[in-house]
A and B are shown apart, each in its own frame.
Chain A
């Protein structure tokens, strides 16, 4: 999900997408995703300088996950964290299923993937460690 509605000069999401699934008219355009081509690899989540891209994946039988860029103190895999919406309000407790550290990321941006109830996949955009 690309949440980048403003015409700003920027193109790394489109330039780095291995599936060619992101369309950008020109560098000042707003990006759109061709979900037929998108493989959910999350390269765009890591490469977006504005941290404005999130992967929502409901393809598994085990349920849905949301992958977010996360440049804060990283949780651990299996840890229960607090899921937050776009306003930073608590939605529900969610579990971290995988993560990429800054070092793991080819684009220098850590990401966290959490298991999310289907009704929250379009809401959850941040997490907070419960300490």
Chain B
């Protein structure tokens, strides 16, 4: 189910290649992921649960969850949402807990290389790209890695225009900002880019990274900036693991990056900005949206985003939770029920929707695990989305050589992520003797802009959460 006409995006024709799924030949477009190609062919059940009882499909589509693991060329546990399909690939549904493959398979774990950039940036989204550019412009050598095949993070699927200040990127579509930053990073002589590359651990001195299907590397940077972004939250209801239940961002990746429709009719769960924006983008992709169900009494997202979908007649049903999803092998129906003031379900209020997709926009949690592994002190801060590292105003964590920026430091949006990235990149460069007064100006300017962005009443909770985790700087120049 490819999207042919789109009011904002164009999906260029690329070479058609073939691969096999369970021995059956499937056509794909070069430059798309295995999961996207399978979806286009109508295959949404990608693996079974460990006990082989339940089917599992795509969920996050950005390599964060394990819902899409399949066996590829004999190697199990391959994240098919971030692995590009290749001519002649053999893809199999993964059942049960797979065996560790023998050395004869194509897993190249024995190749280990070394790299020593001055600054390692983990994550090539808005925060990581801006951090890379800022550090490299100050004269530091930078290696930026991202586990997705494309740079740009979640900006590459954001077809809406950003809010914010006109002297920054306001009014520009997220996708265009992402493309521009990615180009600048790729063209910069001091920056090396490795996509399809995951950080597997932050150790005392080195960081382990794995180039997908190729090799392991030991990286020995002077400073590391963790800009790993966020993970979409799952919510509890019967059959929430059924193929057809997606993260809303997963749906957005599928349709806006790869031009593949997630299904025919969607129930969106959650009326925060993510749920509202992606509902609108589903309509643009010519996918029907039955309704948005929101458990809170009020719409959490911006008024203007809600207005955009209301005028298309999409109902936003507040005070409702998802009770269950029904279907034999994949989602055929979703059931919601009204909840009372203290969260109790009100009997007799069931509403059923015949949908083949349930998209969860129930919140995001910072991707903190590498920071935890690296020994950075964390704090649970609900206003920031979950566990976040303590840090100072220069984005330094409690481990001197590790910085954090973007959603990994607390859920906000791309504009603030870029500003935090600039701060982390500039300070990382300064701390190894690169740059100078210009970098101090960058930090001061970015801090001022962040304060302005966060000043409105919409961000009251965020500001108090930030106050809890921002510790005074430890060095004299502050």
Contact = CB atoms under 8 A, between A and B. Distances in A.
A12 B308 contact: no
Contacts of B170: 10-12, 49
Nearest to A86: B311
B275 to A, nearest CB: 16
A47 B284 CA distance: 19
**List of 10 A-B pairs having minimum Cβ-Cβ separation, nearest first:** A88-B313, A50-B304, A49-B161, A15-B166, A10-B163, A28-B456, A126-B311, A7-B456, A12-B171, A52-B304
B7 A4 contact: no
Contacts of B307: 3, 52, 86, 125
Contacts of A28: 452, 455-456
Nearest to A128: B312
B166 A71 contact: no
Contacts of A126: 311-312
Contact of A102 (B7, B163, B314, B454): B7
B122 to A, nearest CB: 28
A21 interface: no
Contacts of B160: 49
A9 B454 CA distance: 8
Given A47-B171, A49-B171, A7 B457 contact: yes
Contact of B163 (A9, A71, A87, A125): A9
Interface string A1-19: 0011111111110011000
Interface of A: 3-12, 15-16, 26-28, 47, 49-52, 71-74, 84-89, 102, 107-110, 125-126
Contacts of A8: 163, 302, 304, 456, 458
B310 interface: yes
B305 interface: yes
B164 interface: yes
- Chain A binding surface SS class: loop
B304 A6 contact: yes
A55 to B, nearest CB: 16
B452 A27 contact: yes
Contact of B455 (A9, A15, A71): A9
Contacts of B314: 88
B8 interface: yes
B93 interface: no
Nearest to A3: B307
Given A49-B160, A85-B311, A125-B311, A11 B304 contact: no
Interface in B166-195: 166, 170-171, 173
B304 A3 contact: yes
Nearest to B311: A126
Contact of B7 (A12, A26, A50, A72): A72
A72 to B, nearest CB: 5
Nearest to A52: B304
A96 to B, nearest CB: 16
A86 B7 CA distance: 21
B310 A49 contact: no
Interface in B415-471: 452-458
Contacts of B303: 4-6
A51 B283 CA distance: 15
22 contacts: A4-B303, A6-B458, A8-B302, A9-B163, A9-B165, A12-B166, A16-B171, A26-B452, A27-B165, A27-B455, A28-B455, A47-B171, A51-B304, A51-B308, A71-B8, A72-B7, A84-B311, A86-B310, A87-B311, A88-B311, A107-B171, A126-B312
